Amino acid sequence: MADFRDFSPTASNWLVRAYYTPLGDALRGRLSARLDVRQEIAAAELPAPLSGLIYTVVRGSRLWRGEKIDVARELIAHFADGLGAGRSAEELVRDFGSPKQAAKLIRRAKLRRRPLWWQCGRILSRLFAAAIAAILLGYAALSARFYLGKPQIIHNYWNEINAARRVPEADRAWPLYRTAAIKLGKTHVDSAWIDDGPMGKHWDEAVAALERHRESLDLIRQGAKKPRLGYLLGDRADLEAARAANSDWPMTESSPLAEANQDLISALLPGIQEMRRLTRLLAADARRAAIVGDGAAVVADLTTMISISEQIFAPDASLVEQLVGMAIFEIAVDATWRILADAPQVLSDEQLRDLAHRIATYRSGSLAVDFRSEELLFDDLLQRAYTDDGHGNGRITPAGLTMLAGENYHLTLLAALDPGKSGVAANNLARVLSPGVGALIGSRQENRELYRSLMDVMIAAHQGPPWEWDRQAIDAPDSRLKSALASPASRYRYLPVALMFPAREAAYSANDRSIQIRDAAEVAIALEFWHRRHGHWPASLAQLVPDLLPAVPPDRYDGQPLRYVVRDGRPVVYSIGVDRNDDGGRPTVQAELAYIGGYGRLAPEALERLQSSHSDGDWILWPPVKEDRQ
């Protein structure tokens, strides 16, 4: 075997000599790594087939350079022994076998003899590579799951709602209201303009506007006599009516149509909102009629407003529609109260009795909030945001994430991850993480079940009269939802529920406010009848029972009979209000502060706060306060 020391190329003699000094021996590993394997093989002066074979095996071993030198020497020694035994180079090459296999076996043996620190590093690097591979595979799977998910819009809730509202054309009030509103144009007449009578600033303007739109008033009264409103969502007939009148109302060219089946939450309600304006026109006309002594017109206008309110409570009426219906009823009662306070003589006993009966039978006495439309909105959101596995379940889609968190949902994610981050790199990072966000959002079935269970708890908590409601039970859905959204991950998990759970407390409060106002209107009319019969006001509301009232209506805040006092020769009917404290008919600082707040039993500390704030005082129901709350 040729000794490495014998190989002394002219240009490298000094390096070779230094290599075999004591210091060179200590640094053998490093220095040997710098020598060229080719030089080692060339120095052996073996036949070309053997030199080529050695070089191929060494190169294929993929070892450190120092290890390659060692392998080259071992192979050179092996083939030199073979040649020394009289064998030819060709025989040695043939008997050696596959160079590739030899390189693989040599590499495996050398790796096993490497130091412990390298073995540990190799294991760690493999684990790290495996972790990276697993992450990449997982991200690829999440990305495929997320980006390949497509919603299936198979249900048209617009048509379902409209099917429940359809009535024979002869029974529909809406076409008449639509025509009245188009004829009315942009005219606005506020009943407050009539307050000061013929000497008021706006009297002539208001009366002129009412006379100018007498046709619209007649159409509204005709519509109120129809059994049903018949207002349809996204109705093409509304668009065609607007085109025919060259009007941008009640629908524009960009308004969504039911047949297009866009997301239900985009359904516009221009007709329902317009009913407020028509009602205010009627309220102004009722006030005008009272001032000029036309009792029949007063009753016609007031009962028309009540009928309009009832018609709006159509099957599957949205929460917005229901709230508008309640507001219209309050406008009607407010106008009634003002007329009774300022000009009760305009109404005959018969007219007053008819009006009392109409108010008492409002919505057949069944005043309740219906949340079915909110459930339909949620179901429509789910079908547009999730895939559908055919069994009521599915996963969130990119379109769904956009619906829930907006077009720039990745920016929302970015803010959640690090509020201080900004810039293109951070923005791109947030986009990359979108599949992970999709994985965080709960399934279609999971969100639906939570939504329905919260709705059931909410509805159960509002059963019975409001003064018996348990505030803890009322707040239970909020507490449960808050608990469900306690962590950042769960806030994404139940994002659909968090966004769509309705503001039910405001709806229930508005509903009971309407009931209280209805009851107070009956009391006000009964008081007027008593005064006409006796020439003075009763000492208590109990005297109105049973001739004029079947019973004194309850205060919605505590269940006790409505309060009553005669002050300065005038009767005052009031509720104890949100502070649950009888202040003897003393109003709050602002009238609306007396009834803003939830019903139900409150904790002592909550009552103390209300009684020491601007809410301290009573809710004056009749006579009406000077400020128009509408």
Asked if 441 and 484 sit in the same domain, the reply is yes
Asked if 277 and 346 sit in the same domain, the reply is yes
What is the Cα–Cα distance from 576 to 588, expressed in whole angstroms?
10
Is residue 496 one of the residues assigned to a domain? yes
Tokens 């139940």, residue located: 494
Q: How many CB atoms within 10 Å of residue 350?
A: 10
Dihedral angle at the C-alpha atoms of 428, 429, 431, 434, nearest 10 degrees? Answer: 180
**pLDDT score for 16:** 46
What is the Cα–Cα distance from 243 to 234, expressed in whole angstroms?
15
**pLDDT score for 191:** 65
**pLDDT score for 429:** 62
Q: What is the mean pLDDT of residues 512-531?
A: 96
What is the Cα–Cα distance from 335 to 317, expressed in whole angstroms?
25
Instruction: Decide: 15 and 36 in contact? Cβ < 8 Å.
Output: no
Name beta bridge partners: 574: 563, 620
- Residue 622 DSSP one-character state: E
User: In total, how many domains does the chain have?
Assistant: 4
- Token representation of residue 341: 């306070």
Residue 525, helix vs strand vs coil: helix
Give how far Cα 606 sits from Cα of 196, 580, 618, Å: 41, 10, 17
Burial (CB count within 10 angstroms: exposed 0-12, middle 13-18, buried 19+), residue 318: buried
Listed residues 79, 114, 149: the one ending a domain: 114
Asked if 483 and 414 sit in the same domain, the reply is yes
Name beta bridge partners: 387: none
- Residue 455 DSSP one-character state: H
Hey, what amino acid is at 581?
N
Is residue 387 one of the residues assigned to a domain? yes
Is residue 497 one of the residues assigned to a domain? yes
Is residue 328 one of the residues assigned to a domain? yes
pLDDT digits (tens, 9 = 90+) for 361-391: 999 888 889 999 999 999 999 999 999 999 9
Residue 27, helix vs strand vs coil: coil
Alpha helices in 434-494 (DSSP H): 434-440, 444-461, 471-484, 488-493
Instruction: Decide: 338 and 287 in contact? Cβ < 8 Å.
Output: yes
**pLDDT score for 626:** 61
Among residues 451, 445, 456, 351, the alpha carbon closest in space to that of 392 is found at 445
- Residues 6+ away with beta carbon under 8 Å from 455: 371, 374, 375, 477
- Token representation of residue 416: 């959640």
pLDDT digits (tens, 9 = 90+) for 92-108: 888 888 999 998 999 99
pLDDT digits (tens, 9 = 90+) for 261-306: 999 988 889 889 889 999 999 999 999 999 999 999 999 999 999 9
Listed residues 501, 530, 553: the one ending a domain: 501
Is residue 124 one of the residues assigned to a domain? no
Asked if 469 and 582 sit in the same domain, the reply is no
pTM beyond 0.85:
no
**pLDDT score for 129:** 94
**pLDDT surpasses 70 at 417:** no
How is 82-108 classified by DSSP, letter by letter? HHHTT--HHHHHHHH--HHHHHHHHHH
Of the listed ranges 5-14, 411-420, 439-448, 525-534, the least confidently predicted one is: 5-14
Give how far Cα 593 sits from Cα of 199, 412, 514, 579, 589, Å: 32, 37, 16, 9, 7
Longest dimension (CA), the chain: 147
Asked if 261 and 352 sit in the same domain, the reply is yes
**pLDDT surpasses 70 at 321:** yes
Asked if 207 and 340 sit in the same domain, the reply is yes
When pLDDT is cut at 50, 70 and 90, the band that residue 469 belongs to is very high
Asked if 381 and 357 sit in the same domain, the reply is no
Asked if 518 and 426 sit in the same domain, the reply is no
**pLDDT score for 592:** 86
**pLDDT score for 254:** 86
- Residue 470 DSSP one-character state: B
**pLDDT surpasses 50 at 628:** no
Give how far Cα 18 sits from Cα of 6, 23, 67, 100, Å: 14, 8, 20, 35
Is residue 140 one of the residues assigned to a domain? no
Residue 497, helix vs strand vs coil: helix
When pLDDT is cut at 50, 70 and 90, the band that residue 415 belongs to is low
| Domain of 195, in residue numbers | 157-369
- Token representation of residue 510: 């508005």
When pLDDT is cut at 50, 70 and 90, the band that residue 434 belongs to is confident
Hey, what amino acid is at 352?
L
- Token representation of residue 56: 């191929």
Q: How many CB atoms within 10 Å of residue 439?
A: 16
Is residue 342 one of the residues assigned to a domain? yes
φ, ψ for residue 467, nearest 5 deg: -70, -10
Asked if 515 and 614 sit in the same domain, the reply is yes
When pLDDT is cut at 50, 70 and 90, the band that residue 425 belongs to is low
When pLDDT is cut at 50, 70 and 90, the band that residue 249 belongs to is confident
Asked if 551 and 422 sit in the same domain, the reply is no
What is the Cα–Cα distance from 378 to 145, expressed in whole angstroms?
23
**pLDDT surpasses 60 at 541:** yes
- Token representation of residue 290: 């009272």
Cα atoms in the Cβ-side hemisphere of radius 13 Å centred on 96: 26
Asked if 479 and 530 sit in the same domain, the reply is no
Between 340 and 191, the higher pLDDT residue: 340
Q: What percent of the chain has pLDDT over 70?
A: 89
Asked if 446 and 520 sit in the same domain, the reply is no
CA 139, 140, 145, 146 torsion: positive or negative? positive
Give the per-residue SS3 of 557-576. CCCCECEEEEECCEEEEEEC
**pLDDT score for 8:** 40
Is residue 629 one of the residues assigned to a domain? no
Listed residues 462, 485, 501: the one ending a domain: 501
Tell me the pLDDT of the chain averaged across its residues.
87
Name beta bridge partners: 470: 601
What is the Cα–Cα distance from 56 to 43, expressed in whole angstroms?
17
What is the Cα–Cα distance from 508 to 516, expressed in whole angstroms?
12
What is the Cα–Cα distance from 373 to 379, expressed in whole angstroms?
10
**pLDDT score for 40:** 85
